[in-house]
């Protein structure tokens, strides 16, 4: 019995590192086992220390979520991490964006005041 040649799947970006790769399965989301494990560990850690700031589900059932974690880094420094995720019915957690910064406490106070002025 001869096997049919498989239709090659189009290249796509790894949801962890963003590198382009040719998937071997139609539901592949990561370029390697390392990225899959890294994403799992990151998601697990995120769920432990991050708070859900915003969630919006559109008419197509796609979810947009914003997570925030704030930790004391050292002395007068604060680590801020914002993670936004977009997930759809066909590709759960298909896209993730992370913004991280380490800021001095006085910069956090200034940011807080600016947000307060903007929101009032």
User: pLDDT at position 45, please?
Assistant: 53
54 vs 16, higher pLDDT: 54
One domain, residues 15 and 58? no
Q: Spell out the residues 6+ positions from residue 22 whose beta carbon is closer than 8 angstroms to its own.
A: 8, 9, 11
Q: What is the pTM of this model?
A: 0.52
Answer for the pair 30, 36: CB distance below 8 angstroms, yes or no: yes
One domain, residues 64 and 34? no
How do residues 50-104 score in pLDDT, each as one tens digit?
788 888 888 877 788 888 888 887 788 888 888 888 876 555 555 778 888 899 9
Answer for the pair 49, 71: CB distance below 8 angstroms, yes or no: yes
List the one residue out of 78, 60, 77, 81 whose CA is nearest residue 69. 81
Segments forming the whole domain that contains residue 56? 50-120
Mean pLDDT of the chain: 79
Q: Spell out the residues 6+ positions from residue 79 whose beta carbon is closer than 8 angstroms to its own.
A: 69, 70, 71, 72, 73, 100, 101, 102
One domain, residues 59 and 34? no
One domain, residues 83 and 113? yes
């Amino acid at each position: 019995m001869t096997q049919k040649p498989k239709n090659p799947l189009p290249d796509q970006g790894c949801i962890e590192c963003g590198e382009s790769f040719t998937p071997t399965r139609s539901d592949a989301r990561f370029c390697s086992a390392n990225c899959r494990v890294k994403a799992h560990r990151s998601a697990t850690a995120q769920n432990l220390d991050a708070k859900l700031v915003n969630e919006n589900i559109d008419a197509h059932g796609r979810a947009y979520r914003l997570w925030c974690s704030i930790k004391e880094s050292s002395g007068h420094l604060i680590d801020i991490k914002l993670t936004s995720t977009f997930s759809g019915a066909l590709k759960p957690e298909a896209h993730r964006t992370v913004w991280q910064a380490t800021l001095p406490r006085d910069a956090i106070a200034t940011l807080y005041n600016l947000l307060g002025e903007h929101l009032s």
